Structure 1
Amino acid sequence: MTRYKFETTEHELFRKTFRKFLAEEAEPHYAQWEKDHLIPLSFWRKLGDMGYLCPQVEEQYGGLGLDFSFGVIIQEELERIGSSLIGVGLHNDIVIPYIEAYGTHEQKSRWLPKCITGEYITAIAMTEPGTGSDLANIQTTAIRDGDHYIVNGQKTFITNGIHTNLVVVAVKTDPSTEKKHRGISLLVIEGDTPGFTKGRQLEKVGMHAQDTAELYFEDCRVPVQNLLGEEGKGFVYMMEKLQQERLAVAIAAQTAAEDMLTLTLDYVKSRQAFGKAIGDFQNTQFKIAEMATKVELGKSFLEALIEEHIAGKDVVTKVSMAKYWITENARELAAQCMQLHGGYGYMEEYKIARRYRDIPVMSIYAGTNEVMKMIIAKNLGL
């Protein structure tokens, strides 16, 4: 079951145990969750009970003190079930690291234990109706008023938006500064804060069970002690943490690509047409050979990248390459694998249909692939 060179016996056991947990607690219910357009809170609590939420958090705050390699295993096994489970990975490996890195001891003691149990489900609110990848131009404001900030604005496309009760929000604390990125800060806003409301759950092309919502802040009074890190450093913090976020997207896309290839291989070996298996036709063989090669290349690149990231290296350029190339490859594979499934590939009862609609957004969120190419070009000196 070992996938990577860095995996130990402990990793192998962790993967085996987690896969068994998902086989019992997620896989049999996933289709219903898709129909319900929501993953139940009870599943989050079960993840917490078993230690699968934020396992990297220090033991003094209730975590297991594990490194990112265990987070990789969790992300991969969740993606094998379905892309609608990305909210768990976002909670574990994208939002919580902000609190770990920039939070005070008091903030960590207040929030992290409940994030580990699933009592708190986190989200990060950057995107606004008029601002996507251009984070420096966010319009949500947080104006200091004594011991509070008064927050006004709107966020959209927020993963975990319906369930969340602890949100890291990007705000403008200094709207007048000429250098817009210098006026951005991060506030942690709790679900019961007056003035914080949730909009409708957004209906998406895919990832139907994953709750995505709009968030509204109207004269929302947030205590100053909920400021994460230093005022005016929010943009820097987001840039620092986007490396791991984009790596997480690449991991999900690679896992989905591998899953689609396996599904299609099994199908073309068993499906008969014109008196023989579809896999006996040369066109099918060439398609499968091409896809298998790209999947293997993606896996090798990703393995080296994960190792460098865990070692603390700056791999922003390579992560941008991985996020762009692997998500594009997964999208191409989805179309080719559906084609090889024929009419059955268009039926919801076949997993490939779900993959086909779930995959495309991976090239959009966490920074569009066009932005990834801009980063790569800039870092190459262009």
Structure 2
Amino acid sequence: MKRALFEEDHEQFRELAVEFNARQIAGKYAQWEKEHQIPRDVWQSAGENGLLGLAVPEEFGGMGIDDYRFRVVLDEEFVRSGHLAVALALHLHDDLVLPYLLAYGSQDLKQRWLPRFVDGSTVTSCAFTEPGAGSDLRGVRTKAVRDGDDWLLSGQKTFIGNGAYGDAAVVLARTDGQTARAGEDAFTLFMVERSEGYSNGQPFDKMGLRASDTAELFFDEVRVSDADRIGEVGQGLAYIKEQLPQARLAIAVAASAICTAAFDQALAHAGERSAFGQALTEFQNTRFELADLKTEAHVTQSFVDRAVLAFNEGELDAQEAAEVKLWASESAKKLTDKALQIHGGYGYIMEYPIAQSFTASRLLTIFGGTSEIMRETIGRAL
């Protein structure tokens, strides 16, 4: 069945993504996994090749591409190449930070930050979650207190992608001066650059996506200019809710790409390996498992493709985004498990792509809101 999502421009962009993976990442990725770090020159090269900040308007150095299908192409090629952590790192930059600057940033804020998003000179992270507040952002305790024309930011964040080696973060902080459980208007977003008082812990030793660093962030009375406030005071949670569809669609797109890759990896392995004197594909059970993998990967891809088109039209709401994120992430977890089983003992070896897909997929039912939160979101709207 021919896939109708893409047009000629997208396929030309795919050639660029394929070439970038082959030239800049292939043969180096395993070392990055050991070091828990994507080298800075990779970010700069991604910027030079037009792979960062696709939605940034031309006046700020970008291409002003508001067609999310180009982001889908990037994900598919990074995942197909086995460079899943790079896909995640770019997602954090482009899908979890950039939208806030584009939608709510002042003209001055955009002028100062957006060119740095595009050229790869600044790596950013999204600092919302805290040790005592994961998906429950109303439990955030990081605070920002007025000090003249500035703010003093204090608190701790955890599970922050790009946190250890990033240059700046969009930070959710409480600005109502209270300590009781917060209301909807108690939080504000800030774009915070590394400076005195802004530090990080060592990168976490994760089970997967190890090249993409994840760490704790600490803020000890960090001075933040009011010019780096994103939008209005007290509107932080409202802004986050408005941007949830893109954040969750991004995860669904990655999950769908992993589903397809898992099938491809299982099919290739089954065709190459034999047992009891015959190829694995000659066993009916293997063929049935592969048939299920192909069908479920196709169903997931079709669902995600429809959501991408809805997002392009401005019609993907929070509930529908929760549905597609729930389905795609749970499917990725299930399909990579089945594909790993087909690999047998080889599937347990990290140098095999299916092992990396398996460990990467386990994050997707947690990241961006757990599956339980997705179900609650969907259930409340029934």
TM-score, normalising length from structure 1?
Answer: 0.96
Please state how far the C-alpha of 1:94 moved relative to its aligned partner: 2.1
AA aligned opposite 2:193: E
1:181 aligns with 2:180: no
- Does the aligned pair in 1 maintain the 2:271–2:280 contact within 8 Å? yes
Alpha-carbon distance in structure 2 between the residues aligned to 1:232 and 1:314: 25
Which residue number corresponds to residue 83 of structure 2? 82
Please state how far the C-alpha of 1:304 moved relative to its aligned partner: 0.9
SS class of match (1:181): coil
- Does the aligned pair in 2 maintain the 1:330–1:359 contact within 8 Å? yes
Aligned positions of 1:58-137 closer than 5 A: 58-67=57-66, 68-80=68-80, 81-85=82-86, 86-137=88-139
- Does the aligned pair in 2 maintain the 1:83–1:207 contact within 8 Å? yes
Alpha-carbon distance in structure 1 between the residues aligned to 2:193 and 2:275: 58
Which residue number corresponds to residue 351 of structure 1? 353
RMSD of equivalent CA atoms? 1.5
Which residue number corresponds to residue 336 of structure 2? 334
Which residue number corresponds to residue 223 of structure 2? 221
- Does the aligned pair in 2 maintain the 1:186–1:227 contact within 8 Å? yes
- Does the aligned pair in 2 maintain the 1:125–1:167 contact within 8 Å? yes
CA deviation map 1:1-40 (0-9, x unaligned)? x985242211110111211111111122111211222110
CA deviation map 1:66-120 (0-9, x unaligned)? 1222122222222323321111122122211110111011110101101111111
Alpha-carbon distance in structure 2 between the residues aligned to 1:198 and 1:4: 44
Aligned positions of 1:138-157 closer than 5 A: 138-157=140-159
SS class of match (1:180): coil
Which residue number corresponds to residue 32 of structure 1? 31
AA aligned opposite 1:284: T
Identity %: 37
Which residue number corresponds to residue 8 of structure 1? 7
CA deviation map 1:290-312 (0-9, x unaligned)? 11111111111111110000101
- Does the aligned pair in 1 maintain the 2:307–2:316 contact within 8 Å? no
AA aligned opposite 2:55: Q
C-alpha change, 1:6 and 1:282, in structure 2 (3 Å) is closer
- Does the aligned pair in 2 maintain the 1:18–1:77 contact within 8 Å? yes
- Does the aligned pair in 2 maintain the 1:54–1:93 contact within 8 Å? no
Alpha-carbon distance in structure 2 between the residues aligned to 1:315 and 1:143: 33
- Which stretches in structure 2 are left out of the alignment for 5+ residues? none
Aligned positions of 1:219-298 closer than 5 A: 219-298=221-300
AA aligned opposite 1:188: M
Which residue number corresponds to residue 319 of structure 1? 321
CA deviation map 1:135-163 (0-9, x unaligned)? 01100000111111111100010011122
CA deviation map 1:205-233 (0-9, x unaligned)? 11111111110011111111111000000
Alpha-carbon distance in structure 1 between the residues aligned to 2:181 and 2:198: 29
TM-score, normalising length from structure 2?
Answer: 0.96
C-alpha change, 1:178 and 1:348, in structure 2 (3 Å) is closer
Please state how far the C-alpha of 1:256 moved relative to its aligned partner: 0.7
- Does the aligned pair in 2 maintain the 1:137–1:180 contact within 8 Å? no
SS class of match (1:220): strand
- Which stretches in structure 1 are left out of the alignment for 5+ residues? none
